[in-house]
Amino acid sequence: MLGVEPLDRWLDQVIALCQPDNVDLFTGSSEQLIALKASMVEDGIIDPLSGTARWLHRSDPTDVARMEHRTFICSQREEDAGPTNHWLEPQSAKITLDALFSGSFAGRTMYVIPYAMAPLGGAFTQFGIEVTDSPYVALSMSIMTRLGGTVLDAIQSANPTDVVRGLHCTGSLDPDNRWVCHFPETREIWSFGSNYGGNALLGKKCHALRLASVIARDNGWLAEHMLIVELTTPTGEIQHIAAAFPSACGKTNLAMLESSLEGWGIRVLGDDIAWLRPGADGLYAVNPEYGFFGVAPGTSAKTNPVALSMTTQDTVFTNVAVTSDGNPWWEGLDPLPEGTAVIDWRGSVRAFGDGEGPLAHPNSRFTSPLTNCKTLSDNWNNPHGVRIDAILFGGRRPTTIPLVMEAQDWTQGVLYGASMASQTTAAATGAVGVLRRDPMAMLPFCGYNICDYFSHWLGMAESLPNMPKIFSVNWFRQDESGRYIWPGFGTNIHVIKWISERVSGSVDVFQTPVGNLPLRTNLAFEGVDIHEEAVELLLTVDAVAWHEEVDAIRNYFASLGDAVPTPLIDRLSTIKTSLA
């Protein structure tokens, strides 16, 4: 069908296996989208909301987040999947999957979706084909990835072995029969039993992170769980920052930050995934996605007014609540009058304030095109990317980790990333609020052995001039009563300003064994509602706590086996001996 022999054969095999009633080559044309939405409304899969082209989808109540324990790397060798991934032997995985997919599209339409990740026309671009029986996935892919005739033409002339092949089936949605399987050697993804974004929009986590991280390792670049922003300084200098935070830790809010500081401007290129490649004069990055798949709860006029204005049109909401006038509502938005009737994320009519639990699911989402965002950088679609000046690593750390610190060299920066930890959130199933190590925020997304991944990171600095400076940030420090100390959100611009001044070399630092900290004179916090003692706490390296932290990192590295790169282990020893 697509005119490229091996892909044709693959599609023929897929059709023969899944036995759909119809096959629809879906390029996301406006006619196709109009017809798709009309049929989804008719079938009760989406409901129109008020505003322009806004839709609500309610998922199966058991299918609301990524399921890490049902996500598998099916590499030929178990050690290639490494200590942090669930591994399945590929031949036996295929036998299981073949049985599940066999006849699974009967009575359904098969959407064949050729897509591109990253702007077209540069070294970054990659292609994939997702085959799915889910209209919700087809609609979401039209927002999150680049579709269309040009993409189809490019796939037809691409080397077929470079095209990622993804097969997705809704299945029975039984959580115990859910499979998200990646085959790095053959660039295949087989996903069964979930329609949730991170499990079913195969261009996103499965392709752009898990498979792309393997492709990146093999070709000398990085596929990362990072936002990208462009910063303009008062002197007109342009800088770019990439930042890795675990899921639901405020990447979207930081990406859409509006500067309250005179002369400083900030614009967004991406909020979730960055591909970074060496260029002639440094490390260049693109956002491979075409839309935002943001967490709705907590998004408010205070935390992210840009996202709120973005979602007033052309947006698919999933699992939010709905007010009687057809507006989406979630926890964090202005409260409604007590007792007001609201439809919750499961579709039940409830009274506002009934104390029966959240009205929107904690991992409810909005899916909007990048171009909806009023602070989008002019370079969002630049196929050559933007040069990255600073990389930030940060997690939800109630104690120990300062508000901001700068790595003294690349190895220490890689150590910041490799030892990152964060309290878990609702973006994946399982307990929330538990501290876990999440290296580079890639624990659920690195498609190969995490120790090799650390080595790959260390090696990136070898051949490149102008490597970005690396920083650690922590917006989530708590006081003894569990309250967040840092006001966060808009005030993060003060920290970004200091980072930018370090990049341009205009401010000095206070050196400690764990990194360089700001001099108080360079971090003014004018207008920020915070006491001086709190600032002291946020910017202090507590030697006792850090001894414990270094021991905890050592234990974590030991749990990964004996392949953690020596420079990281050695650096921990140096830090330990230098701590008072």
Which residues make up the interface to ligand OXD (CB under 6 A)?
Answer: 66, 197-198, 247, 272, 293, 427
Contact flag: residue 230 with Mn ion (CB under 5 A): no
Contact flag: residue 247 with Mn ion (CB under 5 A): yes
- Nearest distance, CB of residue 252 and ligand OXD, angstroms: 9
Q: How far is CA 327 from the centre of its chain?
A: 26
Between 365 and 477, name the residue whose CB sits nearer to Mn ion.
Answer: 365
- Within 10 A of 36 (CB to CB), how many other CB atoms are there? 22
Please state the three-class secondary structure of 157-212 as a single string.
HCCHHHCEEEEEECCCCCHHHCEEEEECCCCEEEEECCCCHHHHCCHHHHHHHHHH
- Nearest distance, CB of residue 565 and ligand OXD, angstroms: 26
**Binding partner selected for residue 417 from ligand OXD, Mn ion, none, CB under the kind-specific 5 to 8 Å limit:** none
Cα separation values, 123 from 117, 151, 158, 238, 433, Å: 11, 15, 13, 23, 39
- Nearest distance, CB of residue 448 and ligand OXD, angstroms: 18
Spell out the residues 6+ positions from residue 101 whose beta carbon is closer than 8 angstroms to its own. 17, 18, 167, 169, 190, 192
Contact flag: residue 224 with Mn ion (CB under 5 A): no
Residue, CB closest to ligand OXD: 247
Distance (Å, whole) CA 292 – CA 299: 13
DSSP 8-state symbol, 337 = P
**Binding partner selected for residue 454 from ligand OXD, Mn ion, none, CB under the kind-specific 5 to 8 Å limit:** none
Between 217 and 251, name the residue whose CB sits nearer to Mn ion.
Answer: 251
Site for Mn ion in 272-291 (CB under 5 A): 272
Q: Is the dihedral of CA 290, 385, 304, 363 positive or negative?
A: positive
- Nearest distance, CB of residue 438 and ligand OXD, angstroms: 11
Catalytically active residues are: 249
Choose among 390, 409, 80: nearest CA to 217.
80
Between 247 and 472, name the residue whose CB sits nearer to Mn ion.
Answer: 247
**Binding partner selected for residue 128 from Mn ion, ligand OXD, none, CB under the kind-specific 5 to 8 Å limit:** none
Between 231 and 273, name the residue whose CB sits nearer to ligand OXD.
Answer: 273
Choose among 355, 361, 264, 357: nearest CA to 319.
361
**Binding partner selected for residue 66 from ligand OXD, Mn ion, none, CB under the kind-specific 5 to 8 Å limit:** ligand OXD
Q: Which two tokens stand for residue 59?
A: 């998922």
CB under 5 A: which stretch of 206-214, 271-279, 363-371, 475-483 binds Mn ion? Answer: 271-279
CB under 5 A: which stretch of 29-37, 244-252, 410-418, 454-462 binds Mn ion? Answer: 244-252
Q: Which two tokens stand for residue 313?
A: 């049109």
Tell me if 494 sits within 8 A of 524, measured CB to CB: yes
Distance (Å, whole) CA 425 – CA 432: 5
Between 287 and 323, name the residue whose CB sits nearer to ligand OXD.
Answer: 287
**Binding partner selected for residue 293 from Mn ion, ligand OXD, none, CB under the kind-specific 5 to 8 Å limit:** ligand OXD
Contact flag: residue 63 with Mn ion (CB under 5 A): no
Q: Which spans in 325-446 are helix H?
A: 410-418
CB under 5 A: which stretch of 163-171, 247-255, 309-317, 355-363 binds Mn ion? Answer: 247-255
Contact flag: residue 68 with Mn ion (CB under 5 A): no
What's the burial of 355, exposed, middle or buried (CB within 10 Å: 0-12/13-18/19+)?
exposed
Distance (Å, whole) CA 20 – CA 43: 18
- Nearest distance, CB of residue 466 and ligand OXD, angstroms: 29
Between 442 and 499, name the residue whose CB sits nearer to ligand OXD.
Answer: 442
Between 197 and 565, name the residue whose CB sits nearer to ligand OXD.
Answer: 197
Q: What does the binding site for Mn ion look like in residue numbers (CB under 5 A)?
A: 247, 272
